[in-house]
Structure 1
Amino acid sequence: MPPRLNIPPVTRVLLVVLLTQSVLSAAVRYRQWSAHSEIVVEWLTLVPQLSLFYPWTFVTTTLVENNILTLGIAGVTLYHGGKYLERAWSSREFAKFLLVVSLIPNALCFFVLIIFFTVTRNEMWTLTTIAGTIPLQISFLVAFSQLVPAHTVTLFRGVLSMRVPRFPLIYTGVVTILALTPILTSASLFLAVFGLITSWTYLRFYKTVFPDLDTSQPMSMRGDASETFAFAEFFPAPAKPFVSAFTDQIFNVLVAMRACTPFSQADMSIASGNTLLQRSAPGPGGVRAEAERRRALALKVLDQRLHAATASTPRSQSTLPAQPSGPPIQTQPQANVQAAMTSQPGTMLGETSYNSDQDNGEKENS
């Protein structure tokens, strides 16, 4: 028998709906195709001038792709990204994340097209179809930037190497270029930009996170106050100071409007200490991952203690009673163990690529 695909429930529903709606939209457009006009499915996709009587299209349009190329890319992205994030966050939190990053970018894009029509009086803006998984794809990249900010992806056998937080900006550039071609509509760029801002804002200030089980912090907190997830981290080092200054001014305005709550000193210290576990519910996947982490840590500490005890034992134990110099023997392994545990922090990540020196260099350049 072929192996069964282990796909989490929300990701499974996401893929089925994507395929069903895309095929349905293609069938309708094929039957009504005309060489003199562009066919739109206003009851399934979001068209500003035609979809006002179909409010559900603000959500359903996200899972409709208009060509086979974008459908294939969307399927691969949702399959791999959905499985990873749903297991890291739990199905409930993943579903909430999907709803936020689908509804808000579509609504913002809708109002932008209406404003362009009001200014230019060009009806083309209100007949532009707002559809596709672009908000989900860039939101997944933002979520990965939060979960693994120091990891590096190497492409083309080491020719190209980039840190994970660089991908959202690169993705936005690619969408901008494709929006100039028939592959994507002019609304795609707005979807990418609004998807980036919406997903980062939600993860930065509103998403519920739970502390590590070893800490005495409250049972749940909101947002991520770590410096590695600042909005300026998406940009290259020379642009970081300018982006940071601009975003700080926007944040101060939002705080004055009480739209955002500033992080407390405790939140900043917790985030800098990496004591938060990036998952929002102790589901089966989260418990299993936590158990594996604790098991690996326990084995490493045990191995370090054995090596430290072997290294600290004198070659001739018969001379110990006559020469009781230095601290007792039983205290020496503990000191060595503490030194071993505090050294080489990068080895805790296993075989992943972690470049902390690179991060520090970028921060100093900024």
Structure 2
Amino acid sequence: MKKVLPSLSGADVSLRACVESTQSFGLFIKFLLVEVTLFYCLSFINGIEEHLGITPGNLIPSFKVWTLFTYALIDVHIWNLFRNWLFIFLAGRYVQPLWGDLELLLFYLITNTISGLWTTFMYLVSFMAVGNEQFLFETRVCGLAAFIGGVLVALKQLLPEEVISSLPFLHIRVKHLPFTAVIVCLLMTLLNITSAPTLLLLINGVLVSWIYLRFYQLHTSTRGDLSDGFTFASFFPEIAQPIVAVVANGVHAGFVKVGLCRKMVRRYELGGGVTGSGGGGSTNTLTLQMTPAERADNQRRRDLAIKALGKRLEQGSTLGGHSVGLGSSGSSASSSLGGLSSASGIRSPPEWPTIGGVDSGAGAVVSGGLTKNGSGSGASAAPLDSVVVDSSSA
């Protein structure tokens, strides 16, 4: 058990501990927990799914717009209620502290509403293709699967390298969870364990949430997440990523041309200068500084990496057969998720690749940007210009 779930080693997983942990959750998470529990109790009323769930043939003609907001809360099985609790707890534990209640509420509404509309549209297309009226009037779209898919994508963005399973034959990290969840749900659908609407909601939830987080989520001065580890191809196994990347980049380029999607750019401030060294010589310094939003995103990722390293050190893990320790003289930085403290003297690699052949040589220092230093000391940078780097990867 310790190998499969190392993060639960020594944890108190009793009912009392779970209830006490909700005290630190935000208002939206608490409200969502109460809602899914209340609506599960309402599911015992006959015909409640017809009134609160989405029926593809009645959504537009009958103008049942409210079902777009209530369908996600209706689940008729007790194990679905436990599943919903689990992922709401994960959202409250890892996502809400970073985003806040309002951003998480917006994420919930966007993911569920658009996924519900898109699933309804898929059933309408299926009816037009085969002429089966069951797709329109006997199908009930309900459940929290779309939001669960969105939570998995958010966890992939925030904690991509966290280990879920470290068995020799099964090594799963958080970044693998969206693809794994879709495959498991597909198998359960083929075995008639779960319904087809649940599978479609999960897939659409993953797609909608990724599009929102990748291109549209508002940060301090930018939108979206341009990191190379959050591309669409990164959701697939490594062997399939090159093929998926070609297709995804082609689709993205087409959307940019027709105006459905904006072109992604990375903007840097360029600075440089000439300073004297201790021996009377001179050295050139070239500095590429990231925007405040990118620096904040990098700091968040470094904090998460330091927290994960701290957990592994506490469990007595070793890297390459040697124990890894944190410097005792460095200043401490606390993670925004767990409050664990560790030395901040660990240097992290730059988030973005080098530009125009500039790469950090010996003695180069990364501090909120990309810097190339010479052999002199006491360098000072003078502002020169700015550089914009286009990114074509979706």
Provide TM-score, normalisation by structure 1.
0.68
The answer on whether the counterparts of 1:128 and 1:186 sit within 8 Å (CA) in structure 2 is no
Shift of 1:150: 3.0
Q: Find the partner of 1:162 among 156, 172, 191.
A: 172
The answer on whether the counterparts of 1:138 and 1:196 sit within 8 Å (CA) in structure 2 is yes
Aligned CA distance change for structure 1 residues 19 and 140 (closer, same or farther; 3 Å):
same
Aligned CA distance change for structure 1 residues 265 and 176 (closer, same or farther; 3 Å):
same
Shift of 1:190: 1.6
Q: Match for 2:40: what amino acid? A: S
Cα deviations by residue, 1:242-283 (Å, 9 ceiling, x for unpaired): 000000111011111212111223179849x96233899xxx
Q: Which residue is equivalent to 1:81? A: 91
Q: Which residue is equivalent to 1:11? A: 29
| Equivalent-residue separation in structure 1 for 2:298 and 2:140 (angstroms) | 36
| Equivalent-residue separation in structure 1 for 2:342 and 2:95 (angstroms) | 26
| Equivalent-residue separation in structure 2 for 1:53 and 1:183 (angstroms) | 31
Aligned CA distance change for structure 1 residues 67 and 298 (closer, same or farther; 3 Å):
closer
- Aligned to 1:42, what secondary structure does the other structure show? helix
| Equivalent-residue separation in structure 1 for 2:72 and 2:191 (angstroms) | 20
- Aligned to 1:264, what secondary structure does the other structure show? strand
Q: Find the partner of 1:22 among 40, 43, 64.
A: 40
Q: Which residue is equivalent to 1:47? A: 55
Q: Match for 1:12: what amino acid? A: K
Q: Which residue is equivalent to 2:254? A: 253
- Aligned to 2:240, what secondary structure does the other structure show? helix
Q: Find the partner of 2:155 among 135, 140, 144.
A: 144
Shift of 1:163: 2.5
| Equivalent-residue separation in structure 1 for 2:193 and 2:75 (angstroms) | 11
| Equivalent-residue separation in structure 2 for 1:10 and 1:206 (angstroms) | 22
Cα deviations by residue, 1:276-302 (Å, 9 ceiling, x for unpaired): 33899xxxxxxxxx973599899544x
Shift of 1:40: 5.9
Q: Which residue is equivalent to 1:310? A: none
Shift of 1:149: 2.3
Q: Which residue is equivalent to 2:274? A: none
Structure 1 position 100 matched with structure 2 position 110: yes
User: RMSD of the TM alignment (CA)?
Assistant: 3.3
Q: Which residue is equivalent to 1:313? A: none
Cα deviations by residue, 1:153-195 (Å, 9 ceiling, x for unpaired): 2255x55212222111110111112223444222122212211
Structure 1 position 119 matched with structure 2 position 137: no
Q: Which residue is equivalent to 1:230? A: 231
Q: Find the partner of 1:275 among 295, 305, 314.
A: 295
| Equivalent-residue separation in structure 1 for 2:296 and 2:119 (angstroms) | 34
The answer on whether the counterparts of 2:155 and 2:174 sit within 8 Å (CA) in structure 1 is yes
Shift of 1:147: 1.1
Aligned CA distance change for structure 1 residues 21 and 182 (closer, same or farther; 3 Å):
farther
The answer on whether the counterparts of 1:63 and 1:131 sit within 8 Å (CA) in structure 2 is yes
Q: Which residue is equivalent to 2:67? A: 57
Structure 2 spans left out of the alignment, 5+ residues: 1-15, 269-287, 301-331, 348-361, 367-394
The answer on whether the counterparts of 1:117 and 1:123 sit within 8 Å (CA) in structure 2 is yes
Q: Which residue is equivalent to 1:356? A: none
Q: Relative to total residues, which structure has the larger strand share, 1 or 2?
A: 2
| Equivalent-residue separation in structure 2 for 1:132 and 1:41 (angstroms) | 10
Q: Which residue is equivalent to 1:129? A: 140
| Residues 193-208 of structure 1 mapped to structure 2, 5 A cutoff | 193-208=203-218
| Equivalent-residue separation in structure 2 for 1:155 and 1:249 (angstroms) | 36
Aligned CA distance change for structure 1 residues 119 and 203 (closer, same or farther; 3 Å):
same
The answer on whether the counterparts of 1:109 and 1:187 sit within 8 Å (CA) in structure 2 is yes
Cα deviations by residue, 1:34-62 (Å, 9 ceiling, x for unpaired): xxxxx562221111124433211112101
Q: Which residue is equivalent to 2:334? A: 292
Shift of 1:196: 1.2
Q: Find the partner of 1:179 among 189, 211, 215.
A: 189
| Equivalent-residue separation in structure 2 for 1:247 and 1:269 (angstroms) | 29
Q: Relative to total residues, which structure has the larger helix share, 1 or 2?
A: 1
| Equivalent-residue separation in structure 1 for 2:335 and 2:364 (angstroms) | 18
Bigger Rg, which one = 1
| Equivalent-residue separation in structure 1 for 2:203 and 2:298 (angstroms) | 25
Q: Which moved more, 1:223-232 or 1:116-125?
A: 116-125
The answer on whether the counterparts of 1:142 and 1:200 sit within 8 Å (CA) in structure 2 is yes
Structure 1 spans left out of the alignment, 5+ residues: 30-38, 211-219, 281-289, 305-337, 343-366
The answer on whether the counterparts of 1:152 and 1:164 sit within 8 Å (CA) in structure 2 is yes
The answer on whether the counterparts of 2:175 and 2:235 sit within 8 Å (CA) in structure 1 is yes
- Aligned to 2:149, what secondary structure does the other structure show? helix
